[in-house]
Structure 1
Amino acid sequence: MRVCILVEGTYPYITGGVSSWVQMLIENMPDIEFDVVHLAPWRWNRPFSYKMPKNLKRIYEYLLFSCDFSRSKDSLNEQEIVDNVRQLIALKEDRSHFFARVLRSVAGKHLDWVLQERSFWNFITEIYEKYFPQEGFTGFYWTVIGFMVPILSAIQSLPPKADVYHATTTGYASLSALSGKYVHGGKLIVTEHGIYHREREIEITKSSSVPEVYKKPWIEIFRLISETVYMECDVLTTLFEKNQLFQLELNADFGKMRVIPNGIDVEKFSKIQRTEHDGFNIAIVGRVVPIKGITTGIKAFDIVIKEVPNSKLYIIGPTDEDEDYYSKCVGLVRRLGLEDKVVFTSRADVSKYYGMMDVLLISSVSEGQPLVQLEAMACGLPTVVTNVGNCAEIALDPDGQSGFVVEPGDYVSMAEKLILLAKDKSLWKTFSENGKRIVKEKYTLQRMIEAYRELYTEVVKGGWNRF
């Protein structure tokens, strides 16, 4: 069997989250051959963050903002393509079925050149005059190009022939996966860690660089892509049941839907020995990027330090993905006078730090089902998490609470819970023991790998609907 995993801007360059999940899948199914298609807005000038498993045959890299305007050798009619887009915009309902037909007709073919054609120019001037006449045309033109280029690039990013295309988002990676399904055959599995269209909606709504008038159309584009992918995939999996409610909002077929929780190497993390240390050490594990809410965690720690003076905050993760945000975090630490109390480790092996930590803090504004939460539980660390993704359900498991839950951005409540765990040793021990037990019972790597292996086998045989 050959499986092609499709990702956006993550594996093999970015650590944690989806990347760790991809690495675990490939490493633990050595009898299956894998390819990876990596779509990104730019060429990465950094080494791989993972050692390539032997059964990972090749990594294909495609750029989402790289255009080749030479005329296509494919016998495509640009007027027909433009007319299809015009009709798609005009449709009031059943857009996903129409969009799927359009995608099937152009899958894997070179499309960039269409943007240089007279018919496309006539189309965008028509849209401008009808919907956006009050906006400056230059800004409108480049906004449209910004919408179109990554979509066209993804559609023409044809993956290699495979038995299964396994997309990790319903965004650009899923468009490439659909091209593979349409051109080469094979089955399409989509696994959403977080709900892509909702994450993009939050991102676009909060963006200061996107004019308000263009936000709704851009959000609708991502919703249309997700709805179409839900319709066209063979199986739609996610990590926890709450995500399925958001998938059903876009008409996902419940008969295709599966929940496969994340899993970790419980034995590996449970063997990490706690080291003797002074004070109370708090860990934030993750990339130093806005979605992780690092500034919120720092503000919470500023309150903690006043009640528990011998505390330290370790921010364990890469600092080079958003240099402006990292500088903002460092500046906040300086303004609060916490330079000797907050440690940025940069990229690091987190297993070397867990033993000296007392609690894991997840301050994120968006998550799926964080592997770091499961890892911390296996190490016996209580958690304080925000009410995003599956964090709360894990921390408040009915079979045993392993942490506290607060709302995103509420650094005061975050601090209160951290202080309580620092002072109440009995509560700390209860959460620690519950966490170790829950993760061992429900979130093992073996269970996760067996579930995906069975899914791959059944979907290829055409028997997936028996699940």
Structure 2
Amino acid sequence: MKHIDICLLLEGTYPYVRGGVSSWVHQLITGLPHYKFYLVFIGGSKAFYGKQHYELPDNVVGLEEHYLMDRDGILSPRARRGKKQAFSMWQAILSRFSNSEQSLSADQLDILIQQLGHDNGLSYDDFLYSERSWQVLVDLYFSQSANQSFVDYFWTFRNIYSPLFTLAKIARQLPKATMFHSISTGYAGFLGALAKQSQKVPFLLTEHGIYTKERTIDLTQASWIKDRHSALDTSIHKKMELTRQTWISFFQQLGRTAYDQANDIIALYDGNRQRQIKDGAPVEKTGIIVNGINMQRFAQAYQQRNTSPPKVVGLIGRVVPIKDIKTFIRTIRVAINQQPDLQGWIIGPTEEDPNYVKECELLINSLDLKQHVKFLGMQNVAEILPKLGACMLTSISEAQPLVLLEAMAAGIPCIATDVGACKEIVEGMNDQDQQLGRCGYIINIADPNQASQALLTLLSDDEHWQQMSENGYQRVKKYYQEATMYQRYQSLYQEYLSWQE
């Protein structure tokens, strides 16, 4: 195995998913070619992912992949007692997971690494089939959720805690690295905490979106969790179904433990930094490194921009629910009442959630928009931006979208929901930045009427459009250059790497 400077821990992103965080990871690796990176990819099931979408740079010295929902082979159930000491340890760990206000301690992480999945500790067979495991589960059920379905509780318990066995095994087998860098909390962040304890090396945590917040959104909307309320309960303030809350609490604990173990915790903007602190990140560990882009890549696009806005609005992003493509489609439906020749282009990968893509296609058909809304798939962003009059994001959650910075570098005004750093990108992050002027409009989530009004206002005034075009270009040039981002990460990396010299 070649020397590893930085081991990157990646959950559900690079190199198997395109855009967003994956683009940033590729940018970071290629921008710091003097460091040797090793990649650990964590996914749900291998069936969810296809081929690699990125050619790995020369300074990537290895890649391993793990799928938390896939188990090797089929275990044969048989009666077993289970080790008393191992299950005493397990009960203590579960008690801490039930209390998301307190992270797992370093000693508890060491115990997980040493015992979880080991035959002389708590084996996976014992977790699934032993008498002591059953008793632990039953005791937890009666103490936490006796009014819920036991069958639901049983499978929730199994599904939540099974991945910990895989994570402990990964931590034991990771190659030696000078430092670990996770690009989220969640499973990857928890693995970072385990890896730090296993190898006694620094652990850096970067969050783009706030993982716990995004999983909470996903779980709140998840249709696979059935809300089981009594037919006699007519209260409009029903408590969140326990299965949802149990999953949310689990991810909160993963996040809190990652925050506790990380040496530094990086956010993309202050709003997310404040959310990290609220979720348990120690203030003194937190910091901000904004995204940056290579403006030279968009120099030709900037020169090719129109003097008046094309009647085309583009949404550049993955076609997934969190991007709320349906609101974008409805926005076009409202806007063409006043601008009949308007086109809406959806530019980005469609393979991640085929069911959602189908729903969007059905919505387009039902609103009679087949001549106005097009799925263009993956495109060269620098080539397509000059064809747009506006770049729109209708997301219900974002961090600091690179696509807005790229549009601004090409001189294309932006319309975005008031999520993540979108407002400070469009309007300015501080008094000095705000003096440059806005480069578009901020809109409410899921409001096609407001979105369409902003779009029509933007496209109807050439002089106003040109001014916003220039404002955005100057903002990126002054505050969002990728060289600054590289410099900040190089400084952090160098500090950690010097610990081993």
| Residue equivalent to 1:297 | 328
Displacement, 1:66? 2.4
| Residue equivalent to 2:11 | 8
- Alpha-carbon displacement from aligned partner over 1:352-400 (angstroms, at most 9, x marks no partner): 2112111100010000000000000000000000000001111011132
- After the TM superposition, which residues 307-386 of structure 1 pair with which residues of structure 2 at under 5 Å, given as runs? 307-386=338-417
Q: Does structure 1 residue 244 correspond to structure 2 residue 256? A: no
Displacement, 1:417? 0.3
Q: 1:18 to 1:279 in 2, by over 3 A?
A: closer
- Alpha-carbon displacement from aligned partner over 1:206-265 (angstroms, at most 9, x marks no partner): 223224122222222211221121111101001001111111113322221110000111
| Residue equivalent to 2:120 | none
1:82 to 83, 90, 103: 90
| Residue equivalent to 2:210 | 195
Q: Equivalents in 1 of 2:115, 2:369: separation in Å? A: 55
1:104 to 107, 110, 113: 110
| Residue equivalent to 1:264 | 293
Q: 1:108 to 1:440 in 2, by over 3 A?
A: farther
- Alpha-carbon displacement from aligned partner over 1:387-440 (angstroms, at most 9, x marks no partner): 000011110111321110011101110000000011011111111001001001
Q: Equivalents in 2 of 1:441, 1:333: separation in Å? A: 39
Q: 1:350 to 1:76 in 2, by over 3 A?
A: farther
Q: 1:344 to 1:108 in 2, by over 3 A?
A: farther
Aligned residues of 1:239 and 1:262 also touching (Cα < 8 A):
yes
Structure 2 residue ranges without an equivalent (≥5) = 77-82, 118-123, 228-240, 429-433
Q: 1:409 to 1:155 in 2, by over 3 A?
A: farther
- Spell out structure 1 runs of 4+ moving beyond 4 A: 68-71, 89-93, 275-279
| Residue equivalent to 2:64 | 60
Aligned residues of 1:234 and 1:459 also touching (Cα < 8 A):
no
| Residue equivalent to 1:415 | 452
Q: Does structure 1 residue 456 correspond to structure 2 residue 496? A: no
| Residue equivalent to 2:304 | 274
| Residue equivalent to 1:38 | 41
Paired AA for residue 96 in structure 1:
S
Q: Equivalents in 1 of 2:313, 2:282: separation in Å? A: 42
Displacement, 1:154? 2.6
Aligned residues of 1:107 and 1:178 also touching (Cα < 8 A):
no
Q: Equivalents in 1 of 2:127, 2:198: separation in Å? A: 23
1:218 to 235, 242, 247: 247
| Residue equivalent to 1:391 | 422
- After the TM superposition, which residues 200-211 of structure 1 pair with which residues of structure 2 at under 5 Å, given as runs? 200-210=215-225, 211=227
Q: 1:34 to 1:409 in 2, by over 3 A?
A: same
Q: Equivalents in 1 of 2:389, 2:359: separation in Å? A: 26
What is the aligned-residue RMSD (CA, Å)?
Answer: 2.2
Q: Equivalents in 1 of 2:99, 2:450: separation in Å? A: 47
Paired AA for residue 173 in structure 1:
A
Q: Equivalents in 1 of 2:449, 2:42: separation in Å? A: 39
Q: Equivalents in 2 of 1:77, 1:191: separation in Å? A: 37
| Residue equivalent to 1:427 | 464
Q: 1:89 to 1:370 in 2, by over 3 A?
A: closer
| Residue equivalent to 1:133 | 146
Aligned residues of 2:349 and 2:377 also touching (Cα < 8 A):
yes
Q: 1:286 to 1:154 in 2, by over 3 A?
A: same
Q: Equivalents in 2 of 1:198, 1:426: separation in Å? A: 40
Q: Equivalents in 2 of 1:413, 1:161: separation in Å? A: 53
Q: Which moved more, 1:43-52 or 1:415-424?
A: 43-52
Displacement, 1:151? 3.3
Q: Equivalents in 2 of 1:307, 1:274: separation in Å? A: 27
Q: Equivalents in 2 of 1:426, 1:361: separation in Å? A: 20
Taking only the aligned residue pairs, the percentage that are identical comes to 30
Aligned residues of 2:152 and 2:243 also touching (Cα < 8 A):
no
Paired AA for residue 207 in structure 2:
E
Paired AA for residue 136 in structure 2:
F
Displacement, 1:143? 1.1
| Residue equivalent to 2:180 | 165
Q: 1:443 to 1:257 in 2, by over 3 A?
A: same
Q: Equivalents in 2 of 1:260, 1:90: separation in Å? A: 33
Aligned residues of 1:283 and 1:313 also touching (Cα < 8 A):
yes
Q: Equivalents in 1 of 2:98, 2:459: separation in Å? A: 59
Aligned residues of 1:35 and 1:58 also touching (Cα < 8 A):
yes
2:127 to 103, 112, 115: 115
Paired AA for residue 317 in structure 2:
G
Q: Secondary structure at 1:194's aligned position in 2? A: coil
Aligned residues of 1:197 and 1:223 also touching (Cα < 8 A):
yes
Structure 1 residue ranges without an equivalent (≥5) = none
Q: 1:166 to 1:109 in 2, by over 3 A?
A: farther
* TM-score, normalised relative to structure 1: 0.93
Q: Which moved more, 1:203-212 or 1:1-10?
A: 203-212
Displacement, 1:101? 2.7
Aligned residues of 1:193 and 1:238 also touching (Cα < 8 A):
yes
Aligned residues of 1:181 and 1:187 also touching (Cα < 8 A):
yes
1:21 to 12, 20, 24: 24
Q: 1:278 to 1:264 in 2, by over 3 A?
A: closer
Paired AA for residue 249 in structure 1:
K
Aligned residues of 1:4 and 1:36 also touching (Cα < 8 A):
yes
Q: Which moved more, 1:257-266 or 1:39-48?
A: 39-48
Q: Does structure 1 residue 152 correspond to structure 2 residue 165? A: yes
Displacement, 1:30? 1.1
Q: Which moved more, 1:132-141 or 1:163-172?
A: 132-141
Q: Which moved more, 1:268-277 or 1:440-449?
A: 268-277
| Residue equivalent to 2:79 | none
Q: Equivalents in 1 of 2:492, 2:127: separation in Å? A: 40
Displacement, 1:304? 1.2
Q: Which moved more, 1:353-362 or 1:212-221?
A: 212-221
